[in-house]
Structure 1
Amino acid sequence: MLSSAVTTKGQVTVPAEMREKFGIKPGDRVGFVEENGRLIIQPHPQGVAAAFGILKARKSVSLSAMDETIKAKRKNRAGA
């Protein structure tokens, strides 16, 4: 088992072996999960793909309805 000390600010250094194994680079974010009395640290996904599913739609909208709305907004901007 690899270990690391916790600083007075609550910071922990992820051992190099684990950073390399999981592709964790400077500036990356990690997540913490409690599971069955254990603390699990894991890479935290970033980017657009990571945000997928965060927002919940109140109702679905068809692509044609979206296209019509975009056309109307562009028309309004052009006339303004």
Structure 2
Amino acid sequence: MTESTITAKGQTTVPSDIRARLLAEPGTRLVWSVMPDGTIIVRAKTKSILDLAGMLKAPKGKRAAIDDMNPWRR
């Protein structure tokens, strides 16, 4: 198990083996989540939602009208 210490300023160093597993580089943002049972989850925020732009292509020949996409609003 890897450990780190929190300083008086509230800072800590992420151990090198953890940084390697997260592919974390200087400037990588960490997202901290506290679960209801007290478990803490730390995720490396390495991607932006903008990185997903253009990943999906619309199927050719299939178009839907706006009214067909929102049937509950008729």
Q: What's 2:51 paired with?
A: 49
More helix by share: 1
SS in 1 for 2:42: strand
State the TM-score, normalized to the length of structure 1.
0.55
In the aligned structure 2, how far is the partner of 1:3 from the partner of 1:22?
Answer: 16
Question: Which is bigger in relative contact order (C-alpha 8 A, separation at least 6)?
Answer: 2
Which runs of no fewer than 5 residues in structure 1 stay unpaired?
51-61, 63-80
The whole-number CA distance in structure 1 between the counterparts of 2:47 and 2:31 is 11
Structure 2: unaligned runs, 5 residues or longer: 53-65, 67-74
Q: TM-score, normalised by structure 2?
A: 0.59
Q: Which residue is 2:25 aligned to?
A: 25
* Distance (whole Å) between structure 1 residues aligned to residue 25 and residue 46 of structure 2: 12
Structure 1 or 2, whichever has the larger Rg, is: 1
Identical-residue share of aligned pairs (%): 29
Alpha-carbon displacement from aligned partner over 1:10-66 (angstroms, at most 9, x marks no partner): 11111100100110111110000012211221102443238xxxxxxxxxxx7xxxx
